Structure formats: structure tokens, C-alpha cells
Amino acid sequence: MEISKFGGEFKLIDAIVKHVKDPGIIKDYGDDAAVIKTSDPKVHQLISTDMFTDGNHFSTKYFSPLEIGYKVSEATLSDIAAMGGKPKYMFISICLRKNLQIAYLRSLYRGIYNSCSHHKVLILGGDTVRNNKISCALTAVGEVSTENLCLRSSAKVGDIVKVTGELGGSNAGFIILKREYLGHRYIKKKHLQPRCRLDLVDKIAPLANAMIDVSDGIAGDLKHICDQSGVGAEIIKQDIPISKQVIHAARALKMNPHNFAIYGGEDFELLYTVPEENAKKTPGTTIGRIVSGNGVTLVDRKMHTREVLKGGYEHF
């Protein structure tokens, strides 16, 4: 059977990966990072790896090499943020075309260094190999205090669902860039130069139950939390934070602006659940609630409708 007919990216992962049984491993695959015990019982180690390929996660047609480096770094570090942790080290492996100019490669690495420098992350090594297309595999190593660890499996019925920032900008920017529309600079930047929300981790993680970064759209990302926590979720369509720039881009594209936020992804904001008594103490917008059951339901208060959402972006 072909991978494309197997049932999606996450069913494929479940089929080929086996859970690790080791007393030193708190969480292996299935979350934004693996969680490993350390000699300090109050601190866990976090390790996460991400792969990025030309034509999938970025395009050399409209990304500068500096922007490629910056984006792949921010996306990788976002996984550590989603666990409630802080990144410390990064390893970079990269596939390069034989005829690639040295100046291009230096600019790409400068983008990675700029991101890591901003977040006080040290680059310790990696690997290089030749290929016909540029691709990068980044591994981030960080740590999290035991009380700040946020797993996808920790949501509770009654929790409030919140999200930082505004959603849909990256996906709208991607389509604007792909169709070569003029203008829309703010939206294009959201796709070309995203920023992870490590700046908000200390304000969220001590109070949140479950957390994930918005990489595949809130439909798919919130479903990951629901599936692993054995719960359902209801989100209010009118409460999803969408910028006026996304609405303007949607008009130009003749598309529904909410679909950019619900199914688009790569905003790298933090989507989390928090007990109701702590909801007003954390940053972000309240968009719904964790309920009993399963799946994610979109409630439209204006149209008085309810829709069970499909998952977000998958590679297969």
C-alpha cells in the first residue's frame, strides 16, 4: 500500500513507531518533544527534531536564504515552547545542491544564528550532505521544570481553551505569495518570518494543563490534545482571533478568513487549555472549552450551527 493511501501522516507514525519502555523516559513520541528525566528531579530534558524541505515548508522562489534559516529555527524552537520549556542547544543538518553559492549558504545560516541568538540558544553542530533540493533537519535540546511541563495528554473537562496572538496570517501569506499578489506586506511577513512564542511561556506554563504550538491549524492541533487527553472541545468561530490584514487578504483571494486559522497552520502561536479559575491570569484569547466526548466542534453563534471539524494539515 502506498503511503498516500494509508490514512494520513499521524496514522503512519503510529504504525511504524513503537513506544519506548524505559524508566528514564517520561514521554517519547506523540508530543512536541520527547521528555527525559535528568539527575535533578525538578528538571526534565526536552529534545525535538524537525525536517524542512524546499517546496513544502518553504520555497526558494520567494524565500530569501536569510528567511529560510530564520523560519526553520523558529519553527523548531516553537516545539520546546509548546512543552512549557526553554531551549538551550541546537544541531543543524542540511542537504545542499552542489552548485549552491557559498554566499547563499552563509545567509541561510545567518538566519538560523539570528533566531538562536535572539532566544539565547547555542548551536553545537550538525551535518551536511548533497541533494538536488535544499532541506534542513534541526534538533533542539532544552529543559523544563517539572511543574511547568505541559503535555498534550493533560487537558481536563471544563478547561478553557486559549490561544496567543492572531491566527491565519501565515497560511494567508503563503497563498498570497504563491499567487504572486502585490502588496499584503504584513501577511507575507507572517509566513516568511514567523516568530515562536517563547516570550510567553513563563506566563502560561505554570497555570496551563495541556499545550501545543499552532503548526497545522487549530482544527488539527486541538484535535491532538483532545485525542491524547480523551476529551472533546468546542470552539467559538466568532472568538477566533483574526487580524484585519488576514480578512483583507481573504477578500482579495475570495476565501473564508476563518479557514486560514482553522486549517492553515504555521502561525506558531501557543494553543493551550487552562483551568477556568486561572484563565484570566494567562495571556491570549479565549476561544472555547474542553468538554466530554471527542473531536473538535466549531460553534457558530451567529448562524446557530455546529460543525465537527476535520483535522488540519498533514504531509500524506
Instruction: Check whether 224 has a pLDDT greater than 90.
Output: yes
108-167 pLDDT, tens digit per residue, is 999 999 999 999 999 999 999 999 999 999 999 999 999 999 999 999 999 999 999 999
Helices (H), the chain: 9-16, 65-82, 102-118, 169-178, 185-192, 201-204, 218-229, 244-253, 257-259
**What fold is seen in the domain 3-145?**
60s Ribosomal Protein L30; Chain: A; (3.30.1330)
What pLDDT digit, counting tens, does each position of 172-205 carry? 999 999 999 999 999 999 999 999 999 999 999 9
Nearest alpha carbon to residue 225 among 268, 275, 273: 273
Chain region(s) in the chain for CATH 3.90.650.10: 152-308
* pLDDT computed for residue 1 by the predictor: 67
Task: Report whether pLDDT(222) > 70.
Answer: yes
CATH 3.90.650.10 fits 152-308, yes or no: yes
Strand partners, 277: none
* CA 168 – CA 175 distance, rounded (Å): 11
Closest among 198, 209, 187, 213 to 270, alpha carbons compared: 213
Kindly report the three-state secondary structure assignment for every residue of 45-86: EEEEEEEEEECCCECCCCCCHHHHHHHHHHHHHHHHHHCCCE
**For the segment 240-281, what is each residue's pLDDT rounded down to a tens digit?**
999 999 999 999 999 999 999 999 999 999 999 999 999 999
* Residue 283 φ then ψ, to 5°: -75, 155
DSSP 216-257: S-HHHHHHHHHHHHT-EEEEEGGGS---HHHHHHHHHHT--H
CATH 3.30.1330.10 domain range(s) in the chain:
3-145
Residue 6 has what pLDDT? 60
